[in-house]
Amino acid sequence: MAIFRKKYNDENNMGFFDHIDALRGHLFRSVIAIVVIACYVFWNKKFVFDTILFGPKKQDFITYKWMCKLGEVLHMPDLCVQVPNFKVISTTLAGQFMAHITISFVIGLIVAIPYVLWELWRFISPALHEKERKAATGVVAYASLLFIVGAAFGYYFITPFSIAFLVSYNVSSEVLAMPTLDEYVDFVTSMVLMTGVAFELPMLLYFLGRIGIVSSAMLRKFRRYAVVAVLLVAAIITPSVDMFSQTLVSIPLYALYELSIFVVARVEKRKKKEEAEFYNS
């Protein structure tokens, strides 16, 4: 306990540049973790491209299989999404190499997110009081879980349905859909990353609720405005302009908003309990 107090006091007596040096160390270790994972991904090119990246463009992708089985059970054949066969082309000399590096880094970032958040928490936590640290117990686990669930939702649901819709959309028989490799990589990675970040909404409102900026009553009052905000966010984070992709993003985002109301209400209840214990002690 004495060692912990000494470490805590030393960290609180650090100057501005000492904090900068500490932050640099946390960022350096985070970057190293991302680079190590990215290097491993880079050396598994065939699996990464053929199975992960190009999976949503194939008819045997797991999401399409699930939807076909669901259509059979519900006797709704329209649920079985048919993806037109299309090729992805590379129009630049270094296009394939740059796409390889990009997808390796993105997967490295996604896999390393729990460690990156843990390093960030190690930097922030010494500045918090003991009660604040206890109240934020599990924040890294919850934030990591929300990001991973969001990224998975973006990859398994939004991406394949969006690809199927956009490739099937045809303005004329004279037009052949042949997206470039850069466009395809940007589309998939944007869907996955931005959806993962968007799923952090409950964590953001949790901290805003802790410091008193937002309340559950305020969130309930602004529900109608939240619908508009969710539609705007969905329009921003989806790379395409079609309403189908934006609707797929909007539904879970609004569900997260409702979850955030519940989370903030729990925060308020806990704060009232802490205040009652303080005044009764």
Could you state, in order of their start, the residue ranges of all structural domains in the chain?
2-198, 200-281
Give the model's confidence band at 168: pLDDT under 50 very low, under 70 low, under 90 confident, else very high. confident
Strand, coil or helix: 25: helix
pTM, rounded to two decimals: 0.80
Give the model's confidence band at 12: pLDDT under 50 very low, under 70 low, under 90 confident, else very high. low
Give the model's confidence band at 7: pLDDT under 50 very low, under 70 low, under 90 confident, else very high. very low
**pLDDT over 90 percentage in the chain:** 33
Q: Which of 206, 184, 181, 196 is nearest to 257 (CA)?
A: 206
- Higher confidence at residue 155 or residue 80? 155
The predicted model gives 144-165 an average pLDDT of: 90
The predicted model gives 64-73 an average pLDDT of: 87
State pLDDT tens for residues 230-259: 888 777 666 555 566 677 778 888 888 888
Q: Which of 88, 148, 120, 158 is nearest to 22 (CA)?
A: 120
Q: Is the pLDDT of residue 14 over 80?
A: no
Q: Please say whether the beta carbons of 110 and 193 come within 8 A.
A: yes
> What is the Cα–Cα distance from 120 to 114, expressed in whole angstroms?
10
State pLDDT tens for residues 188-215: 999 899 889 988 888 888 888 877 788 8
Residue with tokens 């409102």: 205
Q: Is the pLDDT of residue 277 over 70?
A: no
Least confident segment among 1-15, 34-48, 98-112, 174-188 = 1-15
Strand, coil or helix: 204: helix
> What is the Cα–Cα distance from 276 to 16, expressed in whole angstroms?
37
Give the model's confidence band at 99: pLDDT under 50 very low, under 70 low, under 90 confident, else very high. very high
